[in-house]
């Protein structure tokens, strides 16, 4: 290991009753409130149904509970902003007024350490929250179930600091209580920076009793009173520090026993060997042990945690996505020919691939057409499609758009491929916004169709929306890989 166990144990535990070191942040780093996010608003169920492709199973990113879970979906609003939509169990918020008050209060928060709440929906029995979408998984996934590389020591320290900063900001805004703080509540944005989910700032039951994790990780005062306090949140922060140190979810009581017995070999992640000094390890364990004190009044507050964690930071000049091994640039992705063509904005290559593919991804569409050919109207509709296909084949974008529009406007048949072809035709005609709208519509019809995501990427590149285009490109690549494997 990169630290000496005996020294770490004695140094950490001998300072048990001392305060957490409140070193001043030398740069006095300002966590500015985010200014480019829209103000909190209320959505209709229909808007969120469209955004999530009808709450499609394919768009579920997490769910909790057993009989009636609260489910989180990924989605896309009409303005193309990607969002996470949490749909509550219908019995979770019987008081609609209380739900709206809570949501509006959390919706006032705007900070780059949070996955911010953008809006809510309270319609009939439906209770939904809408937040920024974080595309790079949870801390739990990267820490406990990593596939390519374990989280580096410098990144673990950064997670701890950013989380403390998020809690400090929330406290300064009067939202000090966070419900069930754990590794699943920490998400990574497109830059690879860790963010605290805003969902935990909302009570998730009618009486505020909201701890759903194993009781071994629950603050002792919660077991006595059934209520959380600011100090309870600090206890949960301590369990997260143990997660970061060990790479495992170790019960606090067991961890404290290991520290007392100077058996830190079991407490420290073997993947961290050589990455940190004994002094750094000592300080992190000392901070964790202070957070895990049995008496709530003996635990530190969020401000002192920020001050204590700031001096420990390593490799501060290295961006988070590099530390995490997360790809940000399309050039470094493993892209298929179609993905490469969309990245290069090579419309000729995209056209060749779509033409070669034909309509084989239109599930059931061809069968539906053959059964309805007997009506004159249907025959005219099919003729419009055939003329559109002929124009598309000859790269006559204007004629293709006109014919495909006639086919779509009839509305009796649905074809994601027609929308995809019209999308490309719009791109060829230098109409990127119309191309994006069609690519989104193709995905609404077929949520897991990689070509729809790729065409969205091409349209977004054409619109100059680089970051969103890279995300869409990555989504297309992931979906294509899944389709290939299946």
Q: Annotated catalytic residue: which of 95, 180, 189, 193?
A: 180
Concerning whether 430 is annotated as a catalytic residue, the answer is no
Is-contact 162 168, C-beta < 8 A? no
User: What backbone torsions phi and psi does residue 121 show, to the nearest 5 degrees?
Assistant: -140, 125
**Beta carbons within 10 angstroms of residue 14's beta carbon:** 10
Residues near 4 by beta carbon (within 8 Å), at least 6 away in sequence: 278
* Size of the chain in residues: 486
User: What backbone torsions phi and psi does residue 152 show, to the nearest 5 degrees?
Assistant: -70, 155
What does the block give as tokens for 403? 């014919």
15/5 Cα distance (integer angstroms): 16
27/468 Cα distance (integer angstroms): 32
Helix axes 337-344, 466-485, angle to 10 degrees: 170
Measured over the CA atoms of residue 223, residue 225, residue 226 and residue 228, the dihedral's sign is negative
User: Given its phi and psi angles, is residue 464 left (phi above 0), alpha (psi -120 to 50 degrees) or beta?
Assistant: left
Instruction: Give the DSSP letter of residue 72.
Output: E
Is-contact 342 458, C-beta < 8 A? yes
3-state secondary structure of 85: strand
Least Cα distance to 342 among 451, 433, 422 occurs for 451
441/53 Cα distance (integer angstroms): 10
CA–chain centroid gap for 263, Å, is 36
In terms of DSSP bridges, do strands 194-197 and 186-188 run parallel, antiparallel, or are they unpaired?
antiparallel
* Residues marked as catalytic: 180
């Amino acid at each position: 290991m990169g630290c000496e166990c005996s020294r770490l144990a004695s140094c950490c535990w001998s300072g048990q009753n001392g305060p957490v070191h409140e070193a001043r942040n030398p740069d006095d780093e300002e966590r500015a409130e985010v200014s480019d996010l829209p103000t909190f608003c209320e959505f209709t169920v229909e808007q969120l149904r469209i955004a999530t492709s009808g709450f499609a199973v394919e768009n579920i990113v997490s769910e909790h509970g057993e009989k009636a879970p609260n489910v989180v979906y990924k989605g896309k609003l009409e303005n193309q902003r990607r969002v996470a939509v949490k749909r509550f169990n219908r019995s979770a918020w019987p008081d609609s007024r209380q739900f709206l008050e809570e949501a509006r209060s959390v919706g006032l928060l705007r900070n780059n350490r949070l996955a911010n709440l953008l809006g809510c929906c309270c319609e009939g029995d439906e209770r939904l929250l809408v937040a920024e979408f974080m595309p790079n998984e949870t801390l739990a996934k990267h820490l406990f179930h990593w596939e390519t590389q374990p989280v580096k020591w410098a990144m673990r320290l950064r997670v701890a600091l950013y989380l403390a900063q998020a809690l400090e900001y929330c406290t300064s805004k009067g939202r000090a209580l966070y419900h069930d703080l754990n590794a699943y509540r920490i998400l990574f944005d497109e830059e690879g920076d860790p963010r605290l989910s805003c969902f935990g700032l909302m009570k998730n039951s009618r009486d505020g009793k909201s701890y759903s994790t194993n009781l071994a990780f629950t603050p002792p005062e919660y077991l006595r009173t059934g209520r959380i306090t600011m100090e309870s949140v600090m206890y949960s922060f301590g369990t997260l520090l143990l997660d970061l140190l060990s790479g495992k979810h170790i019960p606090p009581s067991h961890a404290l026993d290991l520290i007392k017995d100077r058996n830190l070999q079991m407490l420290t992640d073997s993947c961290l060997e050589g990455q940190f000094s004994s002094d750094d390890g000592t300080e992190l364990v000392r901070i964790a042990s202070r957070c895990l004190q049995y008496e709530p009044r003996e635990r530190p507050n969020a401000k002192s945690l920020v001050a204590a964690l700031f001096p420990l930071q390593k490799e501060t000049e290295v961006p988070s996505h590099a530390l995490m091994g997360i790809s940000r640039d399309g050039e470094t992705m493993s892209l298929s020919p179609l993905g490469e063509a969309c990245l290069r904005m090579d419309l000729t290559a995209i056209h060749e691939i779509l033409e070669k593919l034909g309509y084989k991804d239109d599930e059931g569409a061809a069968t539906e057409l053959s059964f309805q050919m007997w009506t004159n109207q249907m025959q005219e509709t099919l003729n419009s499609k055939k003329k559109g296909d002929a124009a598309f084949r000859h790269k006559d974008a204007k004629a293709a758009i006109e014919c495909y529009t006639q086919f779509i406007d009839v509305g009796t048949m649905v074809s994601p491929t027609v929308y995809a072809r019209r999308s490309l035709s719009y791109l060829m005609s230098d109409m990127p916004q119309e191309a994006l709208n069609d690519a989104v519509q193709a995905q609404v019809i077929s949520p897991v169709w990689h070509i729809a995501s790729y065409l969205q990427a091409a349209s977004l590149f054409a619109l100059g929306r680089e970051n969103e285009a890279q995300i869409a490109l990555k989504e297309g690549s992931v979906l294509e890989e899944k389709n290939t494997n299946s």
